[in-house]
Amino acid sequence: MSNQLNVVVVGNGMVGHHAVEQLFNLGAEHNISITVLSAEDRLAYDRVHLSEYFSGKTADDLALTDEATYQDWQVDFHTNAKVVGIDKQQQKVTTVAGDVFEYDKLILATGSYPFVPPIPGGDQDHCLVYRTIDDLESIQQSASCSKVGVVIGGGLLGLEAANALKQLGLATHVVEFAPQLMAVQVDAGGGRLLKDKIEELGVQVHTGKATQVIEAGEQCRYRLVFADGESLETDLVLFSAGIRPYDNLAREFELTIGERGGIVVNEQCLTSDSNIYAIGECALYQNMIYGLVAPGYTMAKVAAQDIIANHINLIEEAPLRFTGADMSTKLKLMGVDVGSIGDAHGRTPGALSYMYENQPLGVYKKIVVSQDQKLLLGAVLVGDTSEYDSLLQYMLNGIELPNEPEALILPSSGEKPTLGADALPETATICSCLNVTKGDIIDAVDGGACSVADVKACTKASTGCGGCSALLKNVVDKELENRGVEVKKDICEHFAYSRRELFDIIKVNGIKSFEELIESHGKGLGCEVCKPTVGSILASVWNDYILDASKLPLQDTNDNFLANMQKDGTYSVVPRVPGGEITPERLITIGEVAKKYKLYTKITGGQRIDLFGARVEQLPDIWSELIEAGMETGHAYGKAVRTVKSCVGSTWCRYGVQDSVSMAIFIENRYKGIRAPHKLKFAVSGCTRECAEAQSKDFGVIATDKGWNLYVCGNGGMKPRHADLFATDLDDETLIKYIDRVMAFYIQTGDRLQRTSVWMENLEGGLEYLKQVVIEDSLGIGETLENQMSQVIGKYQCEWKTTIENPEALKRFRQFVNSDKQDTNIQFVNERDQIRPARDHEKIQVVNISETGDTQKHKELALEES
């Protein structure tokens, strides 16, 4: 075994961490000791997705590693360990705390810092930058006492930062010195459209503005004064005017740096000192700083390989070199898709371009091709990046363009030349962040990976920015298909079909019962998986009474007894309270019922009242009284439309711009009780303050001064997800039309127990595809979906009303078929003036003292015990 080699990595950003990972993976058998020195107080985290910190992700969610992992890898790591000295002769570094670490090889991955232009007044308390989690915390704090925020800088990061301010509820402005947004990535035409789209989303954009001074404001905390004499008031200023390499160590300790900064490196990522490497945003290769994560990862890999190859005297045939990187990028900025590929500005001599612009739809596309029109040199996509993957492959792999290259970006009038996964060469890069080629994916599949998740785990593909996930799935599926692998989607042993297939079978064949279906398309008796699934589909398709003799055995106990079973076998009862609006009379009735039946009451998260502790035999009586008072079932027991939460809206609220309560009640009454693959929750907010928390619902509606914004596919629960903005400023009719369509499409195509969020993420093409289907009616099924909805809506019934009118159905609601006694195992004790189930040790053993033993007495005794 070779001698131990000490490698010290300075910096634990994404790239520094990648270097550690590479050293660990490649050097595990070569006696390499790795030390990591991080200036921040936490280990590496994902800076690419930093803005998600404001949409609910925590620092832990963003973490790329943790202490346990580094310990497993035997990495010696130190946080708050900013390096302040390098001794190149003695090969030692010193941290700010005075600790000294010796190295054989040193990797500088110090990254960059945000450039703050020297504007007078730019150093005040609420003038901040956007780079680290600490920065985000400062922004959050400042935003909490601010109303208006300005981002100085309209580049990629500036727009990300503007999105963050908007999410924090500030009136947001972007101030850009250049005449357009994102001048590096998109051309003037794309920039213009981008500006329009971003302004539509409520962010004011000011281009061609040079800020000269930040002084005290009148309405707000500060006032920005521009060179043209105009001014803008704001409470918070966020600088995002580019990055500068963090190269001060190199400056102080005499490593060669570039004229405008950056540590000069060669193809091995070596600096002017043969034992010191520099990688990522602090490194300058051929006068270029690569400010994206993908080139940084490549540099990390190059440096790690070079260190190990030298250490074990391995002369590789083709040692890995860093020779620059493709800076193409695809991203979503505030919901606007932007893609930039290669020579986006058409600066290559002789380059020609094709352009397509659709202003009404807000789409701009341009491709730049070589003089002979054979090769793609670059592209700009704004508003629609669906062709990004294909175009990138054309460019990266020098694939010859079709005869009429414009067909690649024109809307599909006829056959669009597509570049399928099969057409890609094995050298094609699928994931540019992690540099995974199609060949790597084929190797993984050959090595036994048989799902996208497997391939991700062993190649790391699509674990960076995630932009390639659709293409990755495509390649994996194709490769599996080529090997004759069939992906099983059977819901259980009784049906060799997915929920979606069963849905089609039931609908097309007009099947109305489980027996009919299992006889024709399944086997056995069914189980607790397929029965409720089929029950739910039958309900979605036909919406008949769910306790018919034929459907009753299909329902899970909650549906079966039209109530929610609790841990002790009792049930909870939830009357519907549409939109959360309830009269005092009904509140009194609920209170009286709860009192009479000694039920525990609690307000739910969906603006209703939950009554707990009802015995199965009490349910019909309880419901008779509730129905008598005009109430109906809340379907809290079903995988069905539950509640539509609302704020009080413009009727009462000083800020409301629409009547959110009326809309919520309308929506709730329209969709109540409709069965779906999973429960569905709605909310309607009367203004952008969003008091109804609509963005955490499957369907969220937020009032604007022009109508309604519709958000879809959000949820709270185990894995919370914010809903995506689906359409803006809709009138009432269009809003309902879109909800109808999305809901019918979900009911038809969703998997068993799949919530809308997961459903949409699994739709190929995701949100964009859903928009096409619903808004543009790309499949031509819009009307069918609406009809389907109106059919089920027309058959609504209050299941409890039907049940209490049906003596046969009522027979189910008893504990014993042969006795009117009660279940003595159900016992309660008092807590805070209400009942709760008795715990095991609190229960009284009930025995029959004699044939006529009075168990009631024991029960009351138990109640008093506590």
Partner 1 sequence: MSDKRWINICSLSDLVENSGVCALVEGATSADNLTAKDKQIALFSLPSMSEQVFAIDNFDPIGKANVLYRGMVGCNQGEPIVASPLYKQQFSLKTGQCLQEEAQVNTYPTRITDDCVEVLV
- The footprint of partner 1 (CB under 8 A) covers 493-494, 524-528, 530-532, 549, 552-553, 556-557, 560-561, 565, 567-569, 616, 811-812, 815-819, 821, 823-826, 840, 846-851
* Closer CB to partner 1, 596 or 839, in the complex: 839
Q: What element of type H or E holds 99?
A: none
CA-CA distance, 80 to 103, in Å (whole number)? 19
SS3 95: strand
Residue 811 CB, shortest distance to partner 1, in Å, is 8
Backbone angles phi, psi at 172, to 5 degrees: -115, 140
CA-CA distance, 694 to 714, in Å (whole number)? 9
Written as six digits, the tokens of 233 are 């008031």
* Closer CB to partner 1, 466 or 524, in the complex: 524
Q: Which long-range contacts (CB under 8 A, 24 or more apart) does 509-516 make?
A: 511/538, 512/538, 512/542, 512/544, 512/550, 513/538, 513/550, 513/551, 514/538, 514/550, 514/551, 514/553, 514/554, 515/550
Output the 3-class SS for 283-319.
Answer: EEECCECCCCHHHHHHHHHHHHHHHHHHHCCCCCCCC
DSSP string, 181-228: SSTTTS-HHHHHHHHHHHHHTT-EEE-S--EEEEEE-SSSSEEEEETT
Identify whether the C-beta of residue 702 lies closer than 8 Å to the C-beta of residue 719: no
Distances (CA, A) of 485 to 49, 443, 456, 464, 478: 35, 16, 18, 28, 10
* Closer CB to partner 1, 513 or 784, in the complex: 513
Burial of 586 (0-12, 13-18, 19+ CB in 10 A): middle
* Closer CB to partner 1, 464 or 532, in the complex: 532
Per the DSSP assignment, residues forming a β-bridge with 9 are 36, 107
Residue 622 CB, shortest distance to partner 1, in Å, is 17
* Closer CB to partner 1, 733 or 851, in the complex: 851
Residue 619 CB, shortest distance to partner 1, in Å, is 12
Residue 523 CB, shortest distance to partner 1, in Å, is 9
Residue 537 CB, shortest distance to partner 1, in Å, is 16
Query: Sign of dihedral through CA atoms 709, 711, 716, 721?
Result: negative
Residue 753 CB, shortest distance to partner 1, in Å, is 12
Residue 818 CB, shortest distance to partner 1, in Å, is 5
For the chain, give me the number of helices (H) and strands (E)? Answer: 26, 38
Residue 824 CB, shortest distance to partner 1, in Å, is 7
Q: Could you give the maximum distance between any two Cα atoms of the chain, in Å?
A: 105
Identify whether the C-beta of residue 602 lies closer than 8 Å to the C-beta of residue 559: no
Residue 819 CB, shortest distance to partner 1, in Å, is 4
Residue 516 CB, shortest distance to partner 1, in Å, is 14
Query: Sign of dihedral through CA atoms 480, 484, 489, 492?
Result: negative
Residue 129 CB, shortest distance to partner 1, in Å, is 51
* Closer CB to partner 1, 727 or 753, in the complex: 753
Look up residue 590 and give its DSSP letter.
H
* Closer CB to partner 1, 381 or 554, in the complex: 554
Written as six digits, the tokens of 716 are 């709270």
* Closer CB to partner 1, 106 or 518, in the complex: 518
* Closer CB to partner 1, 637 or 738, in the complex: 637
258: how many CB neighbours lie within 10 A of its CB?
A: 18
Residue 813 CB, shortest distance to partner 1, in Å, is 11
* Closer CB to partner 1, 508 or 817, in the complex: 817
* Closer CB to partner 1, 423 or 525, in the complex: 525
* Closer CB to partner 1, 424 or 546, in the complex: 546
